[in-house]
A = this chain, B = another copy of it.
């Protein structure tokens, strides 16, 4: 398989890339590094990336940001950071990427436990994750038979515990193997329109 991993050098992405590198052709796209540079905030940049890449069998997006801050501090424009990056970035990867998929191809997006179980300072970040969950359910209804679309929603991942521990009091870290398996299930299995929750 030819596998494009956007954000393939990130905390989760590098573990997912390492998995698929065994036996598959992996192309890594990233904002600052990778085989291809892409800024997912820009649909033009996404188009250019796909033009360079050509046809693939699986597209994984493990990228995108949203502003973390207290509800009190979050200003109207802060919410648009998440809309433009993690939310519309991933929507545009589906919109544009579908034309670059071989038959029986799949697209896998990424959210996180905040959609279901938010913590402080995530009014914007949780919202973006919840938006993608409902988007995947809705868009997948119209993509049946053309491609498979799923999203992996992980809890506090093992490799990010040092950075995020204080934001997630009492959350049990999720092993990277389990997280990687979420992506494997989406790419190699038959799921479609699923929110693949990896919370423990």
Residues of A within 8 A of B (CB): 43, 70-72, 74, 76, 79-80, 83, 87-88, 91-92, 95, 114-123, 125-135, 137-139, 141-143
Contacts and interface: CB of A to CB of B under 8 A. Distances in A.
Contacts of A115: 130, 134
Given A72-B142, A76-B95, A126 B137 contact: yes
A112 to B, nearest CB: 11
B123 A127 contact: no
Contact of A76 (B43, B129, B130): B43
A74 to B, nearest CB: 8
Contacts of A95: 71, 74, 76
A39 to B, nearest CB: 15
Given A126-B137, A126-B138, A131-B128, A88 B76 contact: yes
A119 B135 contact: no
Contact of A130 (B91, B117, B131, B141): B131
